[in-house]
Structure 1
Amino acid sequence: MKKWRKEILIHAPIEYVWPFFYGSLEKKKIIFPKVINEEFIHQTEQVVGSIIKQSYQIGSITEHYEITIRKYTNEQNYKKFQENFLLNNRFRMTIDYELESKNDTTTKFIYTSLNKPKNPLLSIFQLFGSDEVVQSFMERTKDSIEAAYKEEFQIDAL
């Protein structure tokens, strides 16, 4: 089992940042460019327990994942979305996207990923894993959301 946890500040209000993680496929594609479609297979009133079929494009291959929403919080200054899915039929992924409002123009984004292999032998390969992919995702997310925010509100500098 491998766990990553990273934090980064995004210079945009929490209500602007939230739809990039939950609710807007158009915005989600900005930070997850390989996601091509999402549709609810099962939707609960409280969101937790809902299942989303997500289509993901890798080169010429389209993969489909069933994502189960395990946690969901949508408060004024704190938002959290936890998803769980099976990656390539090899790893049980649990990912938390947390947003905390620091002030009217800054949001702390906390990413936590827990990768649990179905086959214990795959745990050995995780020992050599680095956080480069996670760090790159965090920086790309920050840059993409801040650029979209600047463009939408015609802000010169944050």
Structure 2
Amino acid sequence: MKKWKKEIIINAPIEYAWPFFYGDLEKKKKIFPKVVEEEILNRTEQVIGTTIWQTYQNGSYTEQYELTIKKYTDEKTYKVLQENFILNDRFRMTTEYELESQGEHLTKFIYTSINKPKNPLLSVFQLFGSDEVIVTFMNRTKDTIEAAYATEGTE
């Protein structure tokens, strides 16, 4: 099992940043450019337990995953979305997007990713994994949300 946890400050209010993670597919595609489509298979009233069929375009290869929302909080100053899915039929993935208001125009974004191989032999390869993909994702997310906020203003 490999776990990464990173945080970064986004220069935008929490309510502006949140739809990039949950609720607005067009905004979500801006920080997850490989997401092509999402279809809700089963929506629960409390959101936790909701299942979503997500389609990714990875080069010429299209991948589809069934995501399950395991944790969900949508409060004024604190928001969390945790999803579980199986990647390439090899890894059990848990991703968590946590937003904490740091004032009127700042949001702390904490990203946690856990990938657990279905085959224990794959664990050996994870020993050599770097956090480069995570850091790139965090910086792209920050830049995308801040640029959108700067051009759209304080809607």
TM-score class normalised by the smaller sequence? over 0.9
Question: Does 2:25 match 1:25?
Answer: yes
Whole-Å separation in 2 of the counterparts to 1:129 and 1:61: 23
Question: Does 2:54 match 1:54?
Answer: yes
**Residue in structure 2 matched with residue 132 of structure 1 by the alignment:** 132
Contiguous gaps of at least 5 residues in structure 1: none
Contiguous gaps of at least 5 residues in structure 2: none
The alignment covers a number of residue pairs equal to: 154
RMSD of Structure 2 on Structure 1 (CA) = 0.8
**Residue in structure 1 matched with residue 72 of structure 2 by the alignment:** 72
**Residue in structure 2 matched with residue 111 of structure 1 by the alignment:** 111
Letter in 1 for 2:104: D
Whole-Å separation in 2 of the counterparts to 1:97 and 1:60: 28
Letter in 2 for 1:46: Q
User: Which is further off, 55-64 or 82-91?
Assistant: 55-64
How much has 1:83 moved relative to structure 2? 0.1
How much has 1:59 moved relative to structure 2? 1.1
TM-score when scaled to structure 2? 0.98
Q: Deviations 1:75-132 (Å, cap 9, x if unpaired)?
A: 0000000000000000000011000000000000000001000000000000000000
**Which structure 2 residues correspond to residues 83-122 of structure 1 after superposition, within 5 A?**
83-122=83-122
Shift >6 Å, 4+ stretches: none
TM-score when scaled to structure 1? 0.96
Letter in 2 for 1:149: Y
* Percent of aligned positions that are identical: 69
How much has 1:61 moved relative to structure 2? 1.3
